[in-house]
Amino acid sequence: MKAIVLNQKTYKLEIKDVDKPIISRSTVLVKLVATSLNHHELWTLKEKELRNDSNIILGSDGAGIIMNVGADVKGLKKGDEVVINPSLNWGTNNKVQGKNYEILGFPKHGTFAEFIAINHQYVCHKPVHLSFQEAAALPLAGLTAYRALFTRGEFENSNRILVTGIGGGVALFALSFAVALGAEVYVTSGNDHKILKAIELGAKGGVNYKDSDWSVKLLKMTKGFDVIVDSAAGKGFKELTEMTNPGARIALFGRTAGNIQNLNPSIIFWKQISIHGTTMGNNEEFKKMVDLISSEKIHPVIDSIYSIQEINLAFDKMAKGEQFGKIVINMDKFNNEI
């Protein structure tokens, strides 16, 4: 089969012939129709730390069609349209991933290929209202947002929500989930145009975090927040704690702004704020996320769709932070080399 593999000398992605995966009794063979990009893969390309003698097939997100099923597989059959959960080997403790936890794409081959063989427990039926391209946008970002908002953020419909860094996949899913369930949601971004787009998607308002008085502006719009979903940390995290209501929860899943600085402990303990670290999610949360997408007929925000041959260009766009929503790759044509 054809696959997009990582050249570990140039750290660019190239199309190569690789062995087609063989299914076991508990796995299914999926023909990938679409995949989408994540910062998870971008960090791999930037940090250049992976070393493996064999081809490395990256890719965490994917949607496609089952071509074959193992003898012990129940509830799935050839021809089913499915979406793949990239959160593998979570473990027995739903509160935190175990020592064998990994994200699909390394060391296990990922979704940048014609086919993938994967254990049936990590495969769900595709929401019927979504295209393959939309479904491919769900897995990593949708799961991360679901756990951050609901499990760690303990979301309730009456809560007022702040989502920072709107434009990225996780932030947009958190916005979509909260809006679909009737919450009042505000956003931040370093780009005014992205704030306006978020308002079109249902946000009540937002501020540009590059403004020196961004937190003052935000508090003038609201009476504080019950749940904050943050991917930045950095020096601005101090202001987030100051904008919380008593008993609020902050779910932190990233550090794009660097280390947290100058927190005032008295604000945290006097307001009884809970600060929760979070990453990805377990299999039950993935299924609940897919069910929510289906029941509320939520459509992922797609920034752009690229061909296989344009995957390096797609990652270049992600590296520049230009996207609003998920960047999707159509996987149905492996004709020319990149």
* Interhelix angle 283-295/139-146, nearest 10 degrees: 100
pLDDT in tens, 124-173: 999 999 999 999 999 999 999 999 999 999 999 999 999 999 999 999 99
Say whether 143-277 and 2-138+300-330 share the same fold: yes
Mean pLDDT, residues 240-249: 97
Secondary structure letter of residue 308 according to DSSP: G
Rg (the chain; Cα; Å): 20
pLDDT over 50 at 234, yes or no: yes
pLDDT over 70 at 13, yes or no: yes
- pLDDT exceeding 70 applies to what percent of the chain? 96
Alpha-carbon distance 8 to 108, whole Å? Answer: 16
Q: So what's the architecture of 2-138+300-330 in CATH?
A: Alpha-Beta Complex (3.90)
pLDDT over 50 at 336, yes or no: no
Query: For the chain, what are the domain ranges?
Result: 2-138+300-330, 143-277
Which CATH superfamily does the domain covering 143-277 fall into? Medium-chain alcohol dehydrogenases, catalytic domain (3.90.180.10)
What is residue 334's predicted lDDT score, i.e. its pLDDT?
A: 66
Phi, psi for residue 90 in degrees, rounded to 5: -55, -45
pLDDT in tens, 35-83: 999 988 887 777 666 666 678 899 999 999 999 999 999 999 999 999 9
Per mean pLDDT, which of 15-19, 142-146, 328-332 is the most reliable?
Answer: 142-146
